[in-house]
Chain A
Amino acid sequence: MATEYVKLVDVTKCDGCRACMVACKNWNDLPAEPQDFLGTMQSHANVSADTWNVLTFVEHENSKGGLDYLFRHSSCYHCVDAACEKVCPESAISYTDFGSVVIDHDKCVGCGYCEQNCPFDVISLKEYKDKNGKEYRKANKCTMCTDRLEEGLQPACVTTCHPGAMQFGEKEEMLQKAEKRVSEIKERYPNATIYNPAGVGGTHTIYVLAEKPSVYGMPENPKVPTSAVLWKDYAQPIGKAMVGGVTMALVGAFVANKFFDKKGKEHEEDGGDRHE
């Protein structure tokens, strides 16, 4: 593999200005999604098909009895071992040389397995209509601005980040910076940590956090679902060998319903789409 790159997000330098959110929409030409009032400064509850990064705001009473107001740029983690890539029956999701995980809309059939299996909840389906009024769906998420990387530019969010809370660079260098930073801020934030979870093989968006991941609403130990591993590494190759790639989506639909549909049931119980 070529040199591995990561986006390092040092949330302890973030001042919550949300320029990253606007820069993302600007570069990627994403429409606004007006929301109901959420009761905090946070604008959107989660990332969505049209809002690829969200600045989260958490009021946290820390172990010293003081108040922390914690900000975090949240978007796709670009896992080294990406569940979305594993479960995609059409191989529409792939890794780039930069380490980013991208979706090929020409191949995506909108089956939604990626959305259901992402351990971080950062992929979403969007409804489109073709010129005949026919509805179809495609998965969307942060691309790490791979189109910019290919032109030698940095991701739009990184470029716009004025306090330097985000950097994009070679993985080893970024990890060293992260370790140095954590040691610098330990006195103020005793729970400071690097977030680069091993359960997904590490990520290409690595965080310096002031608090435990759960304080930010992040999974402490995210894992690629076993079902996804089974599917990608065992069932799919065998299946493709037996029936050919073209019909794999049909087989996939059957298998996937058995394997992956844990979230679909929750949706029914909620009676709604979690992205609204």
Chain B
Amino acid sequence: MTNHWSDIQHSDCALIMGANPAENHPISFRWLTKAQEKGGKIVSVDPRFTRTSAKADVYAQLRSGTDIAFMGGMIKYALDNELYHKDYVVNYTNASFILKDTYEFNDGIFSGYDEPTRKYDKTQWAFETDEEGNPVKDMTLKHPRSVFQMMKNHYSRYDADTVCSVTGTPKEDFLKVCEAFCATGAPDKAGTILYAMGTTQHTVGTQNVRAFGMIQLLLGNMGLPGGGLNAMRGESNVQGSTDFGLLYNNLTGYLGAPTMLHPTLEAYNEKETPSAGYWSNKPKFLVSLLKAWYGPNATKDNEFGYQYLPKGNKNYSHINLFSAMYKGELEGAFLFGTNPVVGGPNAGKEKEALGNLKWLVAADLWETESASFWQKEAGSNPSAISTEVFLLPAASSYEKEGSVSNSSRWMQYRWQAIKPKGQSLADLEIIHEMYLHLKDLYKNEKTPAAKPFNALDWNFGKGNHPDIDLVCKEINGYDLTTGKLVPGFGALKDDGTTTSGNWIYSGFYPEEGNNRAKSRDNKDTGGGNYLNWSFAWPANRRILYNRAAADLNGKPWSKKTAIIWWDASQKKWVGNDVPDFVVDRAPTDPGGTNPYTMLKDGVAGLFAGNLNDGPFPEHYEPFESPVANAFSSQDSNPAIQLFDGEFNLKGDYKQFPIVATTYRVSEHWQSGSMTRNQEWLSELVGHMFVEISEELAKEKGIKNKDKVIVSSARGEIEAYAMVTKRFKPYTIQGQKVHHIGMPWHFGYKGFATGDTANRLTPHIGDANTTIPEYKAFLCNVRRAN
């Protein structure tokens, strides 16, 4: 989130799209209800009328996988009706920048496309620059090749009729949504967008978020209380896990993982460090991280241990790993709290892939469907599987100490409530013990595998139990010249004299104070920001880009949307939050009107040339779709990696004419391994079901509570039919299209059991993140027997 949970109460309009917070992020409704009580509106856009839709003031249905068409239409609506925040757009975005002639867009394809590799040459999407390398601008926004005009031209095709024929939204409802949300373009209004996996789990997931970002910039909603672009994270600590580099292409703090393109530290720094903006400090963060990891073994002479880092040349995302596993290219795997046999795309095939491993280690609270993939109950033939499986009992969150970071970027410390049961251990202890054993095994080895391992500077106390406080301090970082904890990331250096395990958290544990993740002062410090409750990265800042909530002169756009402002008498930025700006940089100083300090140009990108699939979001149909793309002759995203063959069969709409999506319920968590083992939650949602409209039920002769078979090109599952008014058939390009949905929590273990929805979903992912397209695929439904 750019903003935070309790900030939602300040919103004049909350657009909830690709998310169902009433069911999946219930606590948000504490704040959404407050916003509504103050006269704010809630808008819900969803394929299904959800519990969120029930609480919303405006609801619009849209077919899964058509968000860009919808948002493109909203961008056009805001531009045509001049509802955008003009001063904001002119000054705080790159709308005025002039694009080079090399940038073009034609029939669904941007310039620079190479069909054999399915990749773009992004250097063609560049700005005109002057002699000093600064972008050429037209502040009137009238230049035909200005970002503003090019954007206007791009979305001129997204008129309400075309949009609605693609999304299946009743035009009247589409316009109501546009009207309600675009009203927040007024300078004294703030609108928030709340999204989750309904947005991201598509082959165009990243561009879906980009489209949200664009409308928020046009309406001047970024940086304002009650505004922002707010990803509601799907797990209690998934924010923390991405912050700490659990994605394959990140080290900690969103430093990109080195690849073959970065053979040396120098090459990495040269390629990855922008010339301006706060990321120009990247070498300091990387060297401090290397120093945290390798300590005295990281010296200037050995590139601070840079060569200890692996440098791959592949995409190591979930989909690719399982594809490699299926081909027998992987020897072993660790599953820490993950259950791909239920949660993975095309889960039936992922289960088969596990059988190609020599060994599998599963660390979990229960024996999951994945840990027991080889059992007869899993549909496997145990005698044909030679994988050796180790199950490590893990402690639950109540049985251990440590921090979780929530969607608000708040790192909140938790204390142990009860001792772990049996032989179960905290993940930290499991890893620590594994380190101790491996250290022993590697100590006399000089192999390439042993080298980086032996170089690790692992100082978390003596014995089998790591001192978690030392882990916290390592994350914060030290000044090695004084041995003291650093006050924040501003103190980090690239000469090897500082350490920090994760620069964005640096400052949460300063020398003079306590671990600020333990702060629990619930007094409102102003504006509902509670600055003394937990620690929000970066620098305890609660609303990112908050400089943008003030005008060029540093005065809030309105009293209502004020958060920080320039105090001329004190010569500094003051207000209700930690300024996301150099605190004494006056609006009249160089860069004093550039609120987007992380970015090279200091302004936000309506045009973003760094994504793999284009600088403007463009609608493409999902990998499996019932219709051809109405916007171009490119049916699906031309930049996605294709997986085909028997591992990922593609369904045809003639055989599988129904659009399907998956989702979660309040009572179950992810693959259900925790909640389906909990009786009180299992009694609340005890059965796998599929929601189908009354109309589809009638066509198929299905009655409520009947058992039905849902089939896709990948497999078949059985489920109970939940016949509901909350799904309605769609009219897409003049034809009737049915839409169904189902939860993906079920498996055969635990109290609440049922077939696994992901046996139906395709093994295909987004062009930037490779997140699987769980949310839109084709299927068919029939009565069982």
Contact = CB atoms under 8 A, between A and B. Distances in A.
Interface in B10-68: 22-23, 26-27, 29-30, 33, 49, 51-55, 57
Interface in A25-48: 25-26, 31-35, 37-41, 43-44
Contact of A69 (B54, B683, B689, B705): B54
Contacts of B723: 39
Contacts of A13: 33
Contacts of A35: 683, 686
A25 B685 CA distance: 15
A68 B751 CA distance: 32
Which of B29, B666, B684 counts the most chain A CB atoms within 10 A? B684
Contact of A32 (B30, B682, B689, B725): B682
B54 to A, nearest CB: 4
A71 B52 CA distance: 12
Contacts of A163: 26, 29-30, 33
B686 A15 contact: no
Given A34-B751, A35-B683, A163-B30, A16 B51 contact: yes
B457 interface: no
B26 A17 contact: yes
Contacts of B27: 162
A70 B666 CA distance: 17
A179 to B, nearest CB: 16
B720 interface: yes
Given A32-B680, A39-B704, A59 B726 contact: yes
A140 B379 CA distance: 43
A17 B22 contact: yes
Contacts of B687: 37
A32 to B, nearest CB: 4
Majority DSSP secondary structure for residues of A touching B: loop
Contacts of B725: 59, 61, 67
B598 interface: no
Contacts of B52: 15
A162 B751 contact: no
B426 interface: no
Nearest to A55: B684
Majority DSSP secondary structure for residues of B touching A: mixed
A138 interface: no
A18 interface: yes
B679 interface: yes
Contact of B684 (A21, A37, A40, A59): A21
A22 interface: yes
B740 interface: no
Given A18-B666, A22-B681, A32-B683, A69 B33 contact: no
B78 to A, nearest CB: 26
Contacts of A67: 49, 725-726
A67 B22 CA distance: 17
A164 interface: yes
A35 B724 CA distance: 20
A72 to B, nearest CB: 12
B51 A162 contact: no
Contact of A18 (B684, B722, B726): B684
A15 B22 contact: yes
A17 B53 CA distance: 14
Contacts of A71: 51, 54
Interface string B718-741: 001111111000000000000000
A18 B667 contact: yes
Contacts of B705: 37-39
B683 A162 contact: no
A162 B34 CA distance: 11
B49 A69 contact: yes
B679 A32 contact: yes
Interface string B676-713: 00011111111101000000000000001100000000
A19 interface: yes
A162 B26 contact: yes
Contact of B724 (A25, A44, A59): A59
Which of A18, A22, A163 counts the most chain B CB atoms within 10 A? A163
B29 A43 contact: no
Contacts of B722: 39-41
Interface residues of A, number: 33
Contacts of B724: 40, 59
Contacts of B33: 13, 163-164
Contacts of B704: 39
B284 to A, nearest CB: 42
Nearest to A50: B683
Interface in A133-174: 162-164
A5 to B, nearest CB: 24
Nearest to A57: B51
Contacts of B686: 34-35, 37, 43
Contact of B53 (A18, A26, A69, A164): A69
A34 B683 contact: yes
B20 to A, nearest CB: 10
A73 to B, nearest CB: 14
Contacts of B680: 21-22, 25-26, 32
A35 B726 CA distance: 23
A68 B54 contact: yes
B261 to A, nearest CB: 47
A34 B682 CA distance: 8
Nearest to A17: B26
Given A40-B722, A67-B726, A69-B726, A15 B55 contact: yes
Contacts of A32: 679-680, 682-683, 751
A8 B100 CA distance: 64
A61 B726 CA distance: 11
Given A16-B51, A17-B666, A37 B720 contact: yes
Which of B51, B687, B723 counts the most chain A CB atoms within 10 A? B51
A71 B53 CA distance: 13
A68 B53 CA distance: 9
B279 to A, nearest CB: 38
Interface string B604-635: 00000000000000000000000000000000
Contacts of A70: 54
Interface string B456-491: 000000000000000000000000000000000000
Contacts of B683: 32-35, 43-44
A222 to B, nearest CB: 27
Nearest to B21: A15
A59 B682 CA distance: 23
Nearest to B665: A41
Contact of B689 (A17, A26, A31, A37): A37
A246 B29 CA distance: 54
Contacts of B681: 22
B55 A43 contact: no
A30 B681 CA distance: 13
A43 B667 CA distance: 11
A265 B758 CA distance: 48
A37 B723 CA distance: 12
A192 to B, nearest CB: 15
Nearest to A162: B30
* Shortest Cβ-Cβ A-B pairs, 4 listed: A69-B54, A32-B679, A15-B22, A39-B704
Interface of A: 13, 15-19, 21-22, 25-26, 31-35, 37-41, 43-44, 59, 61, 67-71, 162-164, 188
Given A35-B683, A41-B722, A67-B726, 14 more contacts: A15-B51, A15-B52, A17-B23, A21-B684, A32-B679, A40-B722, A43-B684, A44-B683, A67-B49, A69-B53, A162-B26, A162-B27, A164-B30, A164-B33
21 contacts: A15-B52, A16-B51, A17-B666, A18-B684, A19-B26, A21-B684, A22-B684, A25-B680, A32-B683, A32-B751, A34-B679, A35-B683, A35-B686, A37-B687, A39-B720, A39-B722, A40-B722, A59-B724, A71-B54, A162-B29, A164-B33
Interface of B: 22-23, 26-27, 29-30, 33, 49, 51-55, 57, 665-667, 679-687, 689, 704-705, 720-726, 751
